Amino acid sequence: MKLVLIRHGVTDWNAARRMQGQTDVPISDEGRAQAERIRPILESLAPGYVVTSALQRTIQTAEAAGLHIDKKDARLNEFSLGEWEGALIDELVAEEYDQWGLGKFTPPGGEDMDDFFLRINSAVFEALAHARKNNIDTVCIISHGGVIRRYLARGIGLNISKMVNPRHAGVSVLNIEAEDIRLEMYNYVGV
């Protein structure tokens, strides 16, 4: 079975380096173009089950990439940033921002990192279980950079401090065989 993870296309807030979190910001024209560029790889992977977060930037990315959405799951929404929602990255304390990126700091009023991972993991587990039950070989999840990083770090054990951020409309592919999970592709953005 393959698990395809895609970060949403860029938004105006991303371009401005503004923290989005769960603020429901749409993708920009550039974000639509990014999603369209990954159509060929998605056509070759042919996902049989597609899940997005409940935020419009992931839904719009799936649509622009030519995917049919089977389910919208709020458990795949980005990290709740509390007081950081809407803040410019340059306005934040650099050390706190760096520690947050490593999963070692929670912004005031923000979501607990363990709770964040548990909700992500439950959504991914449910999507994979649905696929197995229905003999689907490829599951595609369109979500957020924080969701993908946390899942890869805690879910399959990658070192988050050595991981580059998922690129906008970047495609990552995991091959899942019994207890063996291999990362086959990371951050592919098309040509």
- Which residues are annotated as catalytic? 8, 78
Buried b / exposed e along 147-186 (16+ C-beta atoms within 10 A):
bbbbbbbbbeeeeeeebeebbbbbbbbbebeeeeeeeebb
* 3-state secondary structure at position 3: strand
Helix pair angle (29-37, 56-64), 10° resolution = 50
Q: How far is CA 48 from CA 67, 116, 127, 140, 156, in A?
A: 10, 26, 11, 8, 23
Residue 123's nearest CA partner among 160, 157, 164, 78 is 78
- For 158, phi then psi, to 5°, come to -75, 150
Distance from C-alpha of 52 to C-alpha of 59, rounded to nearest angstrom: 6
Burial (Cβ within 10 Å: 0-12, 13-18, ≥19) of residue 53: buried
